[in-house]
A and B are shown apart, each in its own frame.
Chain A
Amino acid sequence: MSAFNQNRSRIVQLIFIGAFVLITLQLINLQVFSTKYKMAADNNAFYRKVIYPDRGIIFDRKKRAILENTISYDLVVIPAESKGTDTLALCALLNIDTATYKKRMRDLIFKNGAVKPSVFEPLLTTENFARLNENMYRFPGYSLSERSVRSYPYDCGAAVLGYTAEVDTGFLRRHKDEGYEMGDYFGTTGLENSYEKILMGQRGIKRFIRDNKGRIQGPWEKGEFDTAAIAGKNLYSSIDVELQKLGEKLMENKVGSIVAIDPKTGGILCMVSAPTYNPNYLTGNQRKKHLVDMMYFDPRKPLLNRTVSTTYSPGSTFKTLVGIIGMAEGVIDDQMTVSCGGSYLGCGRRMGCHAAGTFTLKPAISKSCNSYFAVAFRRILDNANVNNRDITLGLFNEYAYSFGLGRKLGVDLPSERMGNIPTSKYYQKIFGKNWQACNIISNSIGQGEITTTLTQLANVMAIIANKGWYYLPHLIDSVEGGDDYEMLARFKVKHRTKNIAESIFEEVHDGMQGTMEFGTGAYAKVPGINVCGKTGTVENAYRGESLKDHAFFGAFAPRENPRIAIAVMCENAGYGATSAAPIASLLIEKYLRDSIAGPERKAKIEQLSNMNLIPPQMKRLMKPDTTRKVNIKKVIAKN
């Protein structure tokens, strides 16, 4: 028998304790000091399901929904359960071949695993949905899952209403703390973008527990910490959808834009950017294809909102402003006359003109006499009382600014441009310190460096109609349930121009009414309504090539109690009186009378709509099929 190794019993116990201490230390490390395991566990086990609220609906001024939600269906598959599916039948229904089917299935399994539901075909068309729905029993493992998508019931207002798109990494980086995550949709353009905060509503979150294969096991803590989704608020817009539709119809086959404003409120009645497209194109499963087509392959750039994001020289429509400023500064009066032999030669360089004769202000506006406004502009700048052109031009610009030019107006649409009212600093750089009025004489007739957006021009018409005040043009009048984000407050502020006597506006109104009765806008007369208007024809060139003039028309009506101020422009349409002016007259009639009276006027709609004024430089670049694509709108309307 061995010796009594009693002391070794202590050593054995020490070994036991040593091992247990080691284990305890590691447990402290894992459970007490390390947080990463807890996070890893949450990543493992929680499945956060975002419950999407319905986005808010946008109504027009007569409470007709122009942007709403509809239900679309995704074909969802759980690959592990899809054995026994009639693959051939499914392929036939979806119009894909088996190779595509297999590839999609492989990709889905690779991305999302075989036991989790994945979207096999998103946003089914109604026919596909109907056909699939009848045949679902043949496709085990497949199901139809509904989701809310945007829909535009009137097929119009694409540029104004905008569209939504899935968020990308760039967007997520820029909007870090706003709770967006991959797979969310947000308003990319138009009102969808401007009022994203209101329209998006509040997403709900449900937490589920999932197992090691990603299968949902049930709600976490019985849903105690889940939040419910709150639908986005509805918006009431000042748009008149019928007017919008008519405007879009009239602008078919043209490049240009229309803005009509209610001068009393600043609410925009219609806002057309041509060419337009059916906004529903950007909601279905062909969305990406359509978007790419329009973005890269259509030279007319249908995605560009030409009402706020493009600036033009306003042309002769600007003359009204020159006249008003001249009168307000007292450098011209209603008695002043200018004789014109068909061109203005005062600056040594011939400036062509459409009219000849001797004019006071009123007929000068009506007949759009260049010479008269050249003289007026020189008088403003060469004001003997001031004798400093830098100051006089500054004064002129202050008037222009007070008419909403040269600055961003603040329309509730994204990517508005500011236009340009050039300052004396700019001219000093070009012409030196002693620049002359003659250097910038083109500005007098709204050409040269002066540029405005069409919305600014419509706003000028509204200001003239109001005789010196305006509200910021805007599309949204009110938010259902209150404007929590104070987004509409700025549209309730009344803006005034620099102090201008009412009589001056009367004078200009007279001239503009004359335009319609015996002047350049005679084509645009609206029977029985006193319309005040002004045509504009703007020379332009594209890459050195001289092109047909842009046609402009600005107007408001009725003169006695203006309810609509409108600006229309057609790119490269030639003389403004034949295209832009009649379009404006039809819209005015439609808005004021609610319908177009008489077969003759109705025929005019068709005639104008069919008039093809697509600029030749764009026509050359247009592929035949893209022309057809944009006209699909018609095809769909017929169906």
Chain B
Amino acid sequence: MNRRNNNLAAEGIDYTVIWLYGILVSIGVLCIFMVEYKAGSNWLSTFLGGKANYSKQLIFGGVCALVATFILLTDSKIFTAFANLSYLLGILLMLATFVLGKNINGSKSWIPLVGGFNLQPAELCKIFTSLAIAKFISRQQVDFSNVKSQLIAGVIALTPAALSILQHELGLALVYLSLLIAMFREGLPAQFLIIGSCFGILALATLIVERDALSITLTILAGLIIFLAYRQVRKKQRLITITAILSIWILCVGVQRYVVPYIFNNVLECYQSTRIYSMVGKDYDCSLNQKSNEKVTGKAARKPDDYNVRQSKIAIGSGGFFGRGFLKGTQTRGKYVPEQDTDFIFTSLGEAFGFVGCAIFLGLYLYFLFRIVRIAERQRSTFSRVYAYCVASILFFHIAVNVSMTIGLFPIVGITLPLISYGGSSLLTFTVLIFIMLRLDADRQMVLR
């Protein structure tokens, strides 16, 4: 402790991460520049004018650098100390949006600030939740192998998620699920992930395979397993085994026949169901959707289209192996991909630099994630380790989902590409997330509670 006080704050900081951070933010500004660029216009003057998005992003970058420096100069104890308080503040802010919220792009999750800036509490809440979970798990009295503490951690993670769903920000809500990965590292039973992925596969199968055919397949599968297991298992256990298999079978068929359609028709909004269906190349009949029926009674359901994904795939696909070259992307110049500077920023990269560029870019990200995992594993303090895992999980989820949705592997949800997408909120959130981690890492010799 004494040594730490006497030394420069810069000691122990992981410069690899800072370099990666810098490179990614620069790539982001370049990508936004590609999207905004118009042939023939004087980009230097628009750049200096500060009106264009890329210059704004650069200004955000400057602000973030200041914030990052500030974080690096603070004492890491402050993060453990204020973890729960900040979480509470985050939840309060999210609740406040229901009162003060401003409608941007159909979701009422923004709080207007002075100077035309808007704050999205759900974004900031990622930091607070990560801190809170880290704080909770690192408490000495908590044994994460017991179910009660697992449940409490789950509630901490899912409260902001629930609030986000209420704000119609499905994407942000899903991000909180990624904290399960961090919890998994801390001892959350693997069954959660396995059951989760089984449910995912079953839901996907429900979408792709016809309803009755899937039921029959499941039934045949269950019968086959019973037939094979019958002789393998001792007589006494036969009844239990068969009951277990049958109940799993009932559960699966139930999920497939009733739960998944129920989710699509009653839980999700029409546009969300449509996006998910369009991912597997099917049309969703919006007249089945309870919510849309409430809103537009009597009005014919508009035929949904997959314009975004199609254009996004076209843009990325047209890049080919080596890409069309910097500023030569026709789809980017023609503004064919909607939201190309935010959620679909990856398309400009894919078109300009092709498969080679994408692979290098993704390699950079993967290296970044691995670096964070490595940082996490070298922590002495549970708090720092859990927090670093939270950061890795959130980043991973953002990257994987964002890129997947641009290439048609995942339904479209409003999730940004970390450090690349245009937007102050997003950039700031990730900056704070990463630099708190760096600060904690610099003090890895300390045991923080």
CA distance A448 to B143 in the complex (A): 118
Q: A1-B143, A37-B314, A37-B316 are in contact. Are A12 and B350 (CB under 8 A)?
A: no
Contact A41 B373 (CB under 8 A): no
Residues in A neighbouring B321, C-beta threshold 8 A: 31-32
Please pick, from B140, B365, B392, B400, the residue contacting A1 in the complex, using a CB distance under 8 A: B140
Q: A1-B382, A16-B370, A37-B318 are in contact. Are A23 and B334 (CB under 8 A)?
A: no
Interface residues of A in 202-259 (CB under 8 A from B): 209-212, 217-218, 220
Interface residues of B in 310-335 (CB under 8 A from A): 311, 313-321, 330-331, 333-335
Please pick, from B320, B334, B362, the residue contacting A209 in the complex, using a CB distance under 8 A: B334
Contact with B along A15-26 (1 / 0, CB 8 A): 111011011101
CA distance A81 to B376 in the complex (A): 59
Contact B187 A211 (CB under 8 A): no
Q: A12-B181, A26-B407 are in contact. Are A45 and B355 (CB under 8 A)?
A: no
Q: A1-B143, A26-B409, A217-B333 are in contact. Are A31 and B320 (CB under 8 A)?
A: yes
CA distance A598 to B377 in the complex (A): 119
Contact A5 B319 (CB under 8 A): no
Please pick, from A2, A9, A23, A31, the residue contacting B354 in the complex, using a CB distance under 8 A: A31
CA distance A3 to B137 in the complex (A): 12
Please pick, from A2, A11, A34, A218, the residue contacting B187 in the complex, using a CB distance under 8 A: A2
Q: Does A385 contact B (CB under 8 A)?
A: no
- State how many residues of chain A have any CB contact under 8 Å with chain B: 41
Please pick, from B186, B351, B408, the residue contacting A5 in the complex, using a CB distance under 8 A: B186
Please pick, from A27, A44, A210, the residue contacting B314 in the complex, using a CB distance under 8 A: A44
Q: A44-B330, A211-B334 are in contact. Are A38 and B317 (CB under 8 A)?
A: yes
Contact A45 B409 (CB under 8 A): no
**Min C-beta distance of B166 to chain A, whole Å:** 28
Query: Do most interface residues of chain B lie in helix, strand or loop, or is the interface mixed?
Result: helix
Contact B403 A23 (CB under 8 A): yes
**Min C-beta distance of A430 to chain B, whole Å:** 69
Contact A16 B355 (CB under 8 A): no
Please pick, from A8, A27, A210, A211, the residue contacting B407 in the complex, using a CB distance under 8 A: A27
Contact B184 A12 (CB under 8 A): yes
Contact B333 A28 (CB under 8 A): no
Interface residues of B in 374-392 (CB under 8 A from A): 376-377, 382, 389, 392
Query: Do most interface residues of chain A lie in helix, strand or loop, or is the interface mixed?
Result: helix
Q: Does B66 contact A (CB under 8 A)?
A: no
Contact B40 A27 (CB under 8 A): no
Residues in B neighbouring A42, C-beta threshold 8 A: 318, 330
Q: A23-B400, A23-B409, A45-B334 are in contact. Are A13 and B370 (CB under 8 A)?
A: yes
CA distance A176 to B11 in the complex (A): 74
Residues in A neighbouring B317, C-beta threshold 8 A: 30-31, 34, 36-38, 40-41
Q: A13-B373, A209-B330, A218-B39 are in contact. Are A31 and B403 (CB under 8 A)?
A: no
Residues in B neighbouring A11, C-beta threshold 8 A: 184
Closest to A6 in B: B377
Contact B186 A16 (CB under 8 A): no
Contact B145 A17 (CB under 8 A): no
CA distance A209 to B333 in the complex (A): 8
11 A-B interface contacts by CB (under 8 A): A1-B138, A2-B145, A8-B184, A13-B373, A24-B362, A27-B350, A28-B355, A37-B313, A37-B316, A41-B351, A211-B336
The 7 A-B pairs at the shortest CB distance, nearest first, are namely A37-B317, A41-B318, A45-B330, A2-B144, A31-B355, A211-B334, A30-B317
Given contacts A30-B316, A45-B336, A211-B335, 14 further A-B contacts (CB under 8 A): A2-B145, A5-B187, A19-B396, A20-B365, A23-B404, A26-B404, A27-B358, A31-B350, A38-B318, A38-B320, A41-B317, A41-B351, A44-B311, A212-B334
